[in-house]
Amino acid sequence: MNRTLLLFLLFFSNTILAQDKITTSKGTIVFEASVAFFEAVTAKNDQVHCVLYSPKGHINFVAYVRDFHFERSLMEQHFNENYLESDRYPKATFKGIIEKFDLKNITTTSKTHYIKGKIYIHGKSKGIRVPASIVKTKTGIKITTNFSLNTDDFKIEIPFMVRNKIAKEVNVSVDMDLK
């Protein structure tokens, strides 16, 4: 009898804990570092992992650098080998919190929240605070945000030969459908 009760309680405690975590492994990050009058420098990664721990609003992202894909393979090669050195720094991460987050207050009407935390790229970290739109969907919640990052903050060196063709301020768009 005691074993059955113990197994029953363990099973339901895991179910309750699992409901506190909302995840995706198909999130999207797009970055754009184009300069006017030169070729577009844009990449997309649609294999971004994200976990939201709903009780406190803690949120974590992991994006593997090699999963960013460019229109031109040569750009992708230079990005991985020369700029972000993906063999040495294989992933970019973010760990933070959604300020004033309460899952009960998320509705089908989009609301702006601020996400605050540390982003790690190329072996360097930087504290950021960005506005994000959060909305309830049929299957979970959707989080979208747009912000800029400076390559100098992460010691990403742009060679002199192409310095005027790649922007130092990189525009980043994040789109997550968490379930």
- Residue ranges and CATH numbers for the domains of the chain are 24-178 (2.40.128.110)
pLDDT at 19: 62
The model's pTM is 0.87
What span, in angstroms and rounded, lies between the C-alpha atoms of 170 and 126?
A: 14
The answer to whether 82 and 45 are in contact (CB under 8 A) is: no
CA distances 16 to 9, 34, 105, 174, 178, Å, are 11, 46, 20, 29, 18
For residue 27, which of 76, 93, 90 has the smallest C-alpha distance? 93
Q: Give residue 10's pLDDT.
A: 46
Q: Can you give the pLDDT of all 179 residues of the chain as single tens digits?
A: 444 444 444 444 444 444 689 999 999 999 999 999 899 999 999 999 999 999 999 999 999 999 999 999 999 999 999 999 999 999 999 999 999 999 999 999 999 999 999 999 999 999 999 999 999 999 999 999 999 999 999 999 988 889 899 999 999 999 999 99
